[in-house]
């Protein structure tokens, strides 16, 4: 029998129209949008479904993507499919925490609305950024970043051959140049509003940790795997600490998937728009079964396969 992990993508996966087909066809999904819009204080339906320039602004992206993922999640659960473990990449952790009962969806939306604001305000526009480094061979990215003057570090360990660096704009550019000289195939600047998962966001992490004290967190009903530790976490107080640290710490996604595989997970269901995480999982372990659920048709296919 399959052991299933639900995995949730983070910022960058968002697109206009995400979860719209579930909204149209599933009452449980419409209920999620209604609750989330009330918690956010603005129409998340408008951001997700109508052409607009807010969907890529961090303070709106984050609650919108969280809501879309949770709306799809509720339809998946309604179909009878249940997870044995859950994880998300960066923002996706909040959907994962909703999936295992740590947060209610309105509580998660409330926290994430402020998270986006804190992250936007932490570093002035143009002073920081992120670049994906693509390589065919292992690179000493940490050492190369440390050799550069200024603030630059590894933000994401996504899969073999892909890491993301983050920090001050000039330092990131110099580190990317040195990584290319060391054998990287490509260095791709990311369209993000700041140096996420960098020590430069320490103040945002501090504010978020204080805000999380006002949130009622429950123990997870199934194992939740943290980006910061690449291991499962059970205690609400530890989850608060890790969520505060996460915005200024590296995302250990590859290590998290490897942990889930060691724990017996053989099937990964990516819930939300895009196929980014599924592609990472395939590069980490080609024997893993990977499914994407972004549309009702994909949910129907998943049910058939399982």
Residues serving a catalytic function are 90, 197
HSE at residue 20, side-chain half, CA atoms within 13 A, is: 12
Rounded to an integer, what distance in angstroms lies between the CA atom of residue 5 and that of residue 177? Answer: 37
- Pairing of β 186-189 and β 162-168: unpaired
Instruction: Identify whether the C-beta of residue 96 lies closer than 8 Å to the C-beta of residue 8.
Output: yes
List the strands of the sheet with 128-134, edge to edge: 152-159, 162-168, 128-134, 186-189
Dihedral, CA of residue 5, residue 16, residue 106 and residue 22, to nearest 10: -60
| Six token digits for residue 11 | 């910022």
Please give the structure tokens belonging to residue 270. Answer: 């990516």
Q: For helices 92-99 and 236-246, what crossing angle results, to 10°?
A: 160
Asked if 70 contacts 33 with a C-beta cutoff of 8 angstroms, the reply is: no
Length of the chain: 306
3-state SS, residue 256: helix
CA pair distance 111, 90, nearest whole angstrom: 14
What is the C-alpha separation between 238 and 246, in angstroms, rounded?
Answer: 12
Burial of 181 (0-12, 13-18, 19+ CB in 10 A): exposed
């Amino acid at each position: 029998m399959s052991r299933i992990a639900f995995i949730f993508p983070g910022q960058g996966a968002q697109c206009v129209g995400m979860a719209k087909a579930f909204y149209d066809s599933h009452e449980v999904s419409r209920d999620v949008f209604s609750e989330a819009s009330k918690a956010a204080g603005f129409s998340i339906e408008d951001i997700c479904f109508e052409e607009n320039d807010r969907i890529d602004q961090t303070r709106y992206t984050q609650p919108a993507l969280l809501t879309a993922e949770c709306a799809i999640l509720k339809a998946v659960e309604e179909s009878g499919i249940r997870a044995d473990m859950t994880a998300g990449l960066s923002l996706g952790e909040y959907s994962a925490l909703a999936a295992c009962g740590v947060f209610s969806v309105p509580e998660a939306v409330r926290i994430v609305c402020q998270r986006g604001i804190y992250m936007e305000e932490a570093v002035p526009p143009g002073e920081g950024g992120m670049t994906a480094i693509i390589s065919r061979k292992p690179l000493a990215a940490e050492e190369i970043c440390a050799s550069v003057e200024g603030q630059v570090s590894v933000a994401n360990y996504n899969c073999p051959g892909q890491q993301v660096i983050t920090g001050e704009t000039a330092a990131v550019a110099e580190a990317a140049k040195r990584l290319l000289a060391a054998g990287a195939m490509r260095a791709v600047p990311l369209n993000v509003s700041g140096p996420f998962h960098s020590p430069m966001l320490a103040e945002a992490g501090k504010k978020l940790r204080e805000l999380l004290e006002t949130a009622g967190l429950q123990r997870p009903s199934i194992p939740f795997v943290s980006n910061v530790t690449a291991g499962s976490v059970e205690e609400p107080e530890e989850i608060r600490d890790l969520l505060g640290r996460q915005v200024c710490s590296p995302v250990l996604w590859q290590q998290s998937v490897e942990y889930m595989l060691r724990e017996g997970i053989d099937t990964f269901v990516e819930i939300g728009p895009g196929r980014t995480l599924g592609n990472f999982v395939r590069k980490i372990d080609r024997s893993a079964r990977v499914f994407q659920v972004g549309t009702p048709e994909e949910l129907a296919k998943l049910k058939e396969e399982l």
